[in-house]
Structures are given as structure tokens and as C-alpha cells.
Structure 1
Amino acid sequence: MSEFKALLVSEEQGDYVRRVVTRQLAELPVGEVLIRVHWSSLNYKDAMSASGNKGVTRSYPHTPGIDAAGVVESSSVAELAVGDEVIVTGYDLGMNTPGGFGQYIRVPAAWVLKRPAGLTLRESMVLGTAGLTAALCIDKLERAGLTPGSGPVLVTGATGGVGSIAVAMLAHQGHEVVAVTGKADRVDFLRGLGAKEVLSREELQAGTGKVLLGERWAGAVDTVGGDILFNVVKSLRYDASVACCGLTAGGQFQASVFPFILRNVNLLGVDSVEQPLVAKASMWDRLSLQWKTDLSQLEQEITLDALPDYIETILAGGMVGRAVVNLG
């Protein structure tokens, strides 16, 4: 088969137009592994790529999709054989390399991970980059001393992909989870994922001008950044940590050293894109075994043809949970 379907984003007179088109395998870049993609997932970075954000994707036309799960069709390396079920997340996939919103990708072998035995291809894409990021956040918090029973763990941006998975995973592991959202109509959704308490975004924004706030959180996963992040830092308990992985509320905040030198707290940065493959493999093993969590309440399955509408939804801030893309 030399033809396949893909979402193609084209720049046309200053606008970025998204269409499902037929492409040729010969149009894919040179790479060691050709993969027939069966599942992908929609992330905010994909929506930025699909709307012409040059900080994500430099040139168009382009096929986004930073996540892909499928079957090896051809391989020039011994470690990956035809028929192997594999996943690819991050690196340059979907950024400047044609991504998982196409039925085929061709990528370097160093990006490709064999599917963990405890997950199906579909389950791996319900998780995708969002699940991997949530796992990396929780892993860093654990290594900094967080354990179940330590106290309430805060999750900001809790209805988004990373946030909703973090809520479910932390609750599954026995933590007391407090979720933060700007969507007042999603309280029941978050409680269904395991949140013991749900706070409004406005509650977390109060006290921005203060150098310290009352000690509340034994740990936190922050997916939004901005002043909300530093308000979380200011309200961590002594020796506690927050793992930071997003910036939807802004890339800057007003900061002081007081929480760090008076309360011994930690601000932990988390990146899932350029993690070495061995580190990703370790997290995927945990996601497929001891951290495996029922995510059925937060996922919805969509088709390639539905992607343009869902991209508009996620850009407008209306996306809840995870959209897993069925590429057939």
C-alpha cells in the first residue's frame, strides 16, 4: 500500500487550513522504522501545531500528532521486527516530523518503544504524552518524599489531559487528591476520577501579592504555570514539592525566595518530550503494571475526520479528559 489518510495542515493566504487528505508513503521522511499507526491522541501541542504556531512547527504543510501507536511495517534495525506493536511519543514526532494524525509514520528507531505487555495499543494512546507526563510528575514527587498518607495533593488544570490522568492515578495510589479547575460544571467529573475536593481557579489565584500563604499541600502537580504555580509553591507544606509541566496560564510568575528558604520546598520541572528512551520505558512499565488505572471515565474515541472540530474545541479551552484517535 503506497497511499494513506492523514490530517494535513496547510498555510493558505495567512490562514491554517486542516483537511483529511490522501498522502503517499514516498512523502514521509527517511527513517529506520515504518509504522502503520492505528491509534493516536489529541494534545494541546497538536492543536498549536495545527493552528500555525511556529514555536511548535516551523514549516507547512504538516501532519501533527505527537503520539502514535501501531505496528511495524518495515525496519532496518534488528531490535524492531515487522509485526511488532510499538508506541512513539515526543521527540520531534508531530512537531517538524509528520506525526500520528496520519495512518503511517517513518521515524528513527531511537524514538520507538515496544508496547508494554500490560497495555493495549489503544490504552497506550488514552495515556499518550499526557499519561507519560503525569507519571513523570508523580515519580518526581515520590522521589522527593511524597507517599500516600502524607496529606492532600493538589492538581491544577485538573480537567485537562495531564491533570485528569494525574487525579485518577494519584487517587488510585491512595493519595488524598484536591483538584483545581476553571470549569464549574465538571466537579462531578473530577469527583468521579477520585478527587476528594474540588477548588475553583479563582481560589488558587487569591494571594498573588503575598510572599507566603498558609501551608496546605503535601505535594502538587501543576499543569498551568503562571501566578497559580507560584501560589502553589507559597502554600506547600514544609519540605514538600510541586512538579511543574505546563504553562496554559502563562510562562512567567512573580516569585520570591521566601518559600524556598523558609519552608525548604522544591519546584520540580518535568519534560516528557526529550526523555531518554530508557527513562520513557521505565515509566511505561509502571503505567502498565502497578500504576495501571481505569481511565474509561475520562476518554472518548474520535475519528481522523473529527479531528478538525476537536482541535477547535481544545484551542477554546473546552476539552475535558482525553480524545483517543482511531486511525483504522
Structure 2
Amino acid sequence: MKRQDFYYELPEELIAQDPLEDRSSSRLLVLDKESGAVSHHVFKEITDYLHEGDCLVINDTKVIPARLIGSKVGTEAKIEILLLKRKENNIWETLVKPGKKAKIGTKISFGEGLLVGEVVDIVDEGNRLIQFTYEGIFEEILDKLGQMPLPPYITHQLEDKNRYQTVYATHTGSAAAPTAGLHFTPELLEEIERKGIDIARITLHVGLGTFRPVKVDEITEHHMHSEFFQIDEEAAMKINRAKDSGKRVICVGTTSCRTIESAADETGHLKACSGWTEIFIYPGYQFKILDCLITNFHLPESTLIMLVSALAGREHVLAAYEEAVKERYRFFSFGDAMLIGEI
């Protein structure tokens, strides 16, 4: 299966640059995975497609303001880093730009010395292990100095950091937002619960590997970066209950989908667990738990468009994307949404 099989044309002006004022007023394209039929709605109408006894799975990870801009101690050269993965002893795996300026031993100062990082190891071309020294609480310093790590296709400055968080973000650790969840408001979640739909909270800390472009022609040769996930007893029970009673499990976002599919046993059930996943879902994959997916529109030739193609078929997905372009939907992180599954 070739990477080019997942390409589509997207006019640049359809890439959403800013979040909508009302999260739930974005548009919703509903795609029936069996027939390929599509219909057009407003996101808050998602409740019409959720039924009593269904289980909605949400990823409650919280994005850290992981983008730091500092200067090289000694030369004052500008260096930008992105925090990717926390190790021990105040060491983080980071993405450094420009990498060539960050040799082992290089010190970088942020916020006039409020935070200082020293490169202690080189992971690969742009990735470095950096050990930080500071006084006080790291998270508070990061909140003061860091910027939200918006994807490169968003060129506008984000005025309110919370607009790149879901309203249910709880566990800090992501380098990017689980963007399908950005459409939900507290009121919408309350309405969903009132309808008798279980909401299961799981956690997957989104790494930038999720968005790493597929560079190989043959997609099966692409390797995913690992991401940490956690499923507690309550979430596992709710998901298992929906499966056992013949109801649907509806994942909010590809991250929720990848978490439960990684942790599922051969009978399609879950136990409380945590660990690292590198699961790569593409056409041919047999879903063990997921029935429906709420997701945004994804980049051409990305692992995420491959995942939705595994659920609804490549032809149906690309036809739905073509329809979305024609109808001037907003694409990517701050864009509109899709509901895909047995409708």
C-alpha cells in the first residue's frame, strides 16, 4: 500500500488558523462507513447520533506549553526547543532548532536564566537530551516561559492558551492536543451524560511522532514513535459494559482509538493498564473495540488519514474529504469534525 494512495488536494485557505468562539458550533460531516453516504451538520448535533448505553471515550491529556525560545550561553544565538518526553533527573528529550548549534555541553538560557538547559546527549539529527536547572517548580516556570506547541501549518498567534486544550484536560504531558476533543463544551458533555451515555476517560500523552510525515513509499515500512497511555479500572469497566451489552464504543479522536486498540485483548475487552504504544493502524486492520470515531480532518498522506481509512475504507474517506473541500469545511487542528462509523 503506497503513501500516495492517501493524497488529496487541499486549498491552503481551508486550513483553519483560529479556533471558533463557540467550540461546539463547528461543522460535522457524518460518514456511514458501510455505504459511504455523507450528511452535513453542526457539531452540537452529535447528540443525535449517540444512544443510551453507548460509551464515549475521551482522552483527558493536557498539553504542556512545550515550546521554549532561549539563547545559547556565550554567543546569545537564538535556539528554539520543543519538549517531547520527560525522562528522570530533570532530563527531557527535546527537538532543537537549529540542531547544529546544540552540541553536547551547550547551555541554553530561557527567561534570562530563570531556566537553564544543558545538552547531555544527542538522540538523532534534531533530537537532544537536555538537563534543566531552575529554582522553584518546573511546571510553574514552564507556564510562565513556554508557548503552546501549535502545528507548523497554524501561523496565527494563539491569544488564549486554553483554546488548545480540551475542556476536560486533566493529566499534564502532551506535546500536542487531542484536537477532536476541542469541539466539546461542558454543556454538551452534560447533555450527553443525561442521555444515558457513559463517558470513559483514558489518557494518552500525544507525542509529535503522531504527526511525523510518512516518508517511505510503502506505508508498512513507516515506524511510529512510542506514546505513554493509561486506562483506569472505571474506564475499562464502562467500555467493557458497552461491548457486552451490544452498544457502541465511540472514540473521540485517533489518540483515544489507538489507546484502547493497543490495550484490547483478543476478545475485545480491556483491563486497567498503562504502558507505551507504537500502534500504527492502516487499511486491513481489524478493530477490536472501536465502533465509531469522532475526528478532525487530517493531513494528506498522514498516518491519521490512514487510520480513518482503516475504519471506513480509503475510497469512502477520500470521497468524503473531496465533499468537505467542495463544501468549504475547515481543516486540521482548529477545523471542523467528522463522525465515522455505523450510523
- Give the TM-score taking structure 1 as reference length: 0.29
TM-score, normalised via structure 2 length = 0.28
